[in-house]
Amino acid sequence: MKQSIPILTLTQLLTATVAANRFTTVAGIQTGADLNALGVSRVGGIATERIPVDVLGTAIVESGAAIAAGATLKSDATGRGITWVTSGARLAVALEAAGGAGEFIEVMLIPNAA
C-alpha cells in the first residue's frame, strides 16, 4: 500500500464526477491539462458529493505517463500526473517513479501557478 502524509486536507463539494487520486480544481472538477489545482482527491465522487482533497503534504496521484522519481509534475487533461517540461502549472514533485499510465505514486504537493 502506498503512503500519503497530508498536512492539510479540505472537504470539497464536487460539481462534476471526479476519480480518486486525481488533481482537482477549486471549482470541484478534475484539473484539465496545464491548469492549477487545489489538491488531489482521496476518493472518487459525483456532483453534489463532498470528498476529502489533500492540499498540502504528500498525496497519491495516478500517473498519466511514465514519470521519473524527482520529476516536477503537472496535470494531463483528466487530472492525472505527467512530467512538466516547459509549460503549465507545476503541481507536485514525484517521490516515486511510474513506468507508465495508470500507476499510483506518492508525490509532494507544491504551491502552483500556471
pLDDT in tens, 57-90: 999 999 999 999 999 999 999 999 999 998 999 9
pLDDT in tens, 43-55: 999 999 999 999 9
Task: List the beta bridge partners of residue 13.
Answer: 50
Contact 73, 107 (CB under 8 A): yes
Q: Which has more pLDDT, 73 or 114? A: 73
Percentage of the chain surpassing pLDDT 70? 97
pLDDT in tens, 26-49: 999 999 999 999 999 999 999 999
Q: What is the pTM assigned to this prediction?
A: 0.94
Interatomic CA distance for residues 107 and 68, integer angstroms? 11
pLDDT for the residue numbered 3: 86
Contact 107, 92 (CB under 8 A): yes
φ/ψ (deg, to 5) at 8: -140, 125
Contact 55, 8 (CB under 8 A): yes
Asked whether the predicted pLDDT for residue 1 surpasses 90, the reply is no
Q: What is 31-52 written as a DSSP string? A: --TT---SEEESS-B-TT-EEE
Cβ burial 1-18 (10 Å sphere, 16+ → b, else e): eeebebeebeebebeeeb
Percentage of the chain surpassing pLDDT 90? 91
pLDDT for the residue numbered 2: 76
